[in-house]
Every structure is written in structure tokens, then in C-alpha cells.
Structure 1
Amino acid sequence: MTVITPSVPHAPFSAPPLPMSILRRLPFPSLSPRHRFATLAAVRQDTTVWTPSPVSSIEIAAESLFHVSIDVSNSPDLVASHTLPGQYLQLRLPDVEKPSFLAIASPSSLAASTGAFEFLVKSVAGSTAELLCGLKKGDVVELTQAMGNGFNINKIDPPEDYPTVLIFATGSGISPIRSLIESGFGADKRSDVRLYFGARNLRRMAYQDRFKDWESSGVKVVPVLSQPDDGWTGESGYVQAAFARAKQIYSPKGTGAVICGQRQMAEAPQIDIKHDDHCLKYA
């Protein structure tokens, strides 16, 4: 089985340490310790480029989840930086010190055609994300260029060699998975592509309106609810348990996996995917 692993940091980047060869060449001998520190700090200052971009729309996607669209049509460098599903960027608000790291939910083709980056944002009390979800159309945020290696689809190509692809996502982890599915990875050319998508209940499950299109592209969607309401007849419990109940992997060597969600799911023995296998893991 094969695994793809871009990762999103959960805290802002810190500047990398300077190579020792550079430090030895800096003209420090005549400076006091305080001035030496000031000079080093100046060398290590943040050089991140932030691009102001207006909010196009903010809509409720599910309970505590918001669909956020940002207009990047006047920023061709920003648009060009998004090339692969699974990439992410930093977003910050005026007068708010801490930025948010957000996975880009839309495929790169959307930005190229309409000039929009779309995100699925979970509103957490007291966070930058909560403030973002409270903005209005026309409010300006600042974005970095897209970063990260994205999902390395080459690890599960060509489709005839990897006819089975299993996708596991929970909660807002469906965001980069949407980008993957809508970017296209030959799902219609494979015999078995399944998305196990977990949420507490249907009220907390985003993108239900897209399921039909995803199915049409060759991805079988298996919703899994951990706390379903009365009357639910689909899969219940956790995604790894739902997978175990209907495993049906006919050729492990011809199987790829994509994982995005809680660590407990990724490390569950029912899934049993190794880092050196063909798995695209987004943790």
C-alpha cells in the first residue's frame, strides 16, 4: 500500500538558524554583546511577503465550519504559487499578531480561471479563524504564497498500477481532500476509489452538496457519523472501524491511501498504513 505526506505546521514558522559559516563572517569583534544580538536579530528578521486580498464571500458550510472565498485575481504571483492539491498558506488579519495556517480547499484550476482561493475554516473561540469567519465581503486580509509540497500524486500513478485508492478524512480535514478530488487524479480510471469521511453528525459534515459530483468523478463517498441522529442508516462510529468492516482490498501492492484528519485515525491499527507505503498523509 502506498502513502502521500505533506504536513501543515500548527504554529507560525520561525526563521531558520543561520549557517555557522555565515556567522563566522559577520563583523562582530568590535561590538558589545547587546549590539551583537541586535545585529543578528536584524539578519534573521522575517522576510515573508504578505499580499493584501479582499474577501469575496463567507458562508456557513456546516456547524462551526465556514466556506471562505478570497479574491486573488489581482495577484498573479499568488495564483501561480498554487500548483498542487494539499498546499497551504498563512493568512493574517489587520491588527492581529498571530496568523492562521489554512489548507487551500479549491483546486488550482479555480484560481487560474476565476481568481479565487477557497478555504474551509473551523471557527474556534478566541482564534484568528473565529475573527476571519466574522468578516464581511470586501474586508481585506493578507496572504502568503502557497507553500508545501502538496499531495505527490506520482506515488500512485499510473492508475492502472494503483487501481484502488482509499481516502480517509475527518471534520475540516476534508478541505485539502476536496482540492485533491476536484483537481483530478484519474479516479474514473481506477476500479475502486473510496472516501471515508467522518463527522460527529450530518450537521457537522461539510461539502455534502458536492458528494454527487465527486461520485460522478469516480469517488465513492462513505459518510461515517460518530454520533448520528435517530434514523441514520449509514455507517456509524469511526472511519477506521467503517473501513475494517468493508475492507475489500484485493491487491495491497496496487493500493494507495490518502489520510487527512486526527492522529488517532491515521495511527489506527485497522488502517495499518506505514510511512514508506503508498499513502498520501496530510497531518
Structure 2
Amino acid sequence: MLGPTLYTEVPVLAAWDETAPFRGIRLALPPALARAHRAPGQVVKVRTPAGEGFFALASAPSPDAVVDLLLKRGGKVADAAIAAAAPGATLALTEPFGKGFPVEEAAGRDVLLFAAGSGIAPIRAVVQHVLAHRDAFRRATLFYGQRHGAEFAYRAEHVAWERGGVRVVLCPSGEDDAWPGVRGRVQEVARVLAFGGTPPEETVAFVSGMTAMVDDVRRVLAGAGIPPQRVFANF
């Protein structure tokens, strides 16, 4: 994935700790960049003194041209971007690019969403799109995995997602004695819960996470009768 090479200094509107591992950054896209933000799941390249990196936009296209990033601490580019991205400063990034998720494929169908780790960023964009166009979709269920319960991002939004008609199933995969709910990898939990009751012949899935996780989700869904051509990643 090469992506564009032209960078624009974009104003930072806000920055906050979403969880201990994750930092949220809100940016105001200028018109030229905002026009390229066409679909949930697109990515941008960010340039820092430590190098360049690819990051998925954590928000759906919107008229106000405000976008969010979710950066995980521990990578040299992410850490440099986190250090630079204070409100009032700027961050150098390209226009949004990539096909993103083909959400039109899910129109009139049930929607399954799978996210693990920082993969929640582009899946959050799909959630926002589904909520903004709720009548276009049937049932929607999000299976979201992190290692530990304290690492789930956007917890403050989950109630609103549920109220808007997106069921949220949180799936910690590590040992966490304080966690009261289900445990395991997202694909395992989804299989146990019968994929939220969605009929395979009427379901489309959107997936984001490490390659091995995406491949495993595809296998599990294929075993449940959801063909590979109705399972989409954002790359």
C-alpha cells in the first residue's frame, strides 16, 4: 500500500486518552482532503520526524469534515504523532485514500462487524455510517475484541450505539478476573452466540484487525454459510 505522497498540515482540534494504549486525535480536514473522504474504512498516511505511517480513519465521512484517528502507543510513528498532535498544533497527513468498506453491499441486509485491537478505528466509522442511515440496514451486531477489558476504546459511545440499533458484544481474549461477560477471540464468541441470530443468506460482514484474525473470521463465517464475497476488509 503506497498511497499518496502529498502531505498537508491539518489542524488538530482535540486529543485525548481513549484508553491506556490508545490516543484519540480529532482533525479538521481542509476541503481538498475532505472531498477524498468518501467511504468508511479509508486510510491516511501521517508524516512525522520519525517517519511515515498508515492509519485508518476512525470516523465516517461527514459534512463538517472532522475526522478522528485512533493511535496505539508503542510504534515510533504513532508515538511521534501523539507527541505532536496537541490542540492548536498541526499534523501532516495525506488525503484519505483506499476503497474503504463497500457499505452499499449491506443495504437491506443484516450486518456483522468484527474488530480486534486498533481495528476498531475503521469499524467505528462503519458503525457511524449505519447509525446515520439506520433504515438502510437490518440487524447490526459488533463483535469487538481486545486483550483485556480495560482496553476497549469508545466505551462512552457504546450505549448510544446500542440505542441506535447496533448490538455491541465485547470480547476480551486474555485472563481478566474482573470481566463479567463473555471471553475469547471475536470469531469464537460470534460462533458461540450464533452470530447474533443473523441468517447467513441475508448477512454481510465487515472485518478489521490483524491479517490472521481477518482470515480466521472469513473461515468461521464460511463455515456458517456466509460466502467469502460477502465478507469485506478495508484493504
Q: Would you say same fold, with TM above 0.5? A: yes
Which of 51, 54, 65 is equivalent to 2:22?
A: 65
Query: Any gaps of 5 or more consecutive residues in structure 1?
Result: 1-8, 15-46
> What is the letter of the counterpart of residue 270 of structure 1?
V
TM-score (norm 2): 0.87
CA contact (8 A) 1:57 1:137 kept: yes
> What is the letter of the counterpart of residue 69 of structure 1?
R
The size of the alignment, in residue pairs, is 228
Q: How large is the Cα RMSD of the aligned pairs?
A: 2.2
Matching of residue 282 in structure 1 with residue 234 in structure 2: yes
Name the residue aligned to 1:102.
55
Matching of residue 121 in structure 1 with residue 71 in structure 2: yes
* Pair 1:242–1:187, CA change in 2 (3 A): farther
TM-score (norm 1): 0.74
> What is the letter of the counterpart of residue 43 of structure 2?
Y
Higher-Rg member (1/2): 1
The 2-side partners of 1:90 and 1:189 are apart by 31
Name the residue aligned to 2:123.
177
Q: Show CA shifts across 1:203-257 (max 9, x none).
A: 2110111111111221100000112422322110111110111115563221111
Which of 33, 45, 52 is equivalent to 1:90?
A: 45
208-217 or 187-196: which moved more?
187-196
Query: What displacement does 1:52 show?
Result: 1.2
**Larger relative contact order (CA 8 Å, sep ≥ 6):** 1
Name the residue aligned to 1:19.
none
Query: Any gaps of 5 or more consecutive residues in structure 2?
Result: none
CA contact (8 A) 2:42 2:234 kept: no
Greater helix fraction, Structure 1 or Structure 2: 2
Matching of residue 79 in structure 1 with residue 34 in structure 2: yes
273-282 or 227-236: which moved more?
273-282
Q: Secondary structure at the match of 2:97?
A: coil
The 1-side partners of 2:26 and 2:10 are apart by 10
Name the residue aligned to 2:112.
166
Matching of residue 142 in structure 1 with residue 142 in structure 2: no
Identity %: 27
Q: Show CA shifts across 1:86-120 (max 9, x none).
A: 11111112x44x211111112211xx32x422101
CA contact (8 A) 1:188 1:217 kept: no
The 2-side partners of 1:88 and 1:153 are apart by 16
Name the residue aligned to 1:130.
79
Name the residue aligned to 1:254.
202
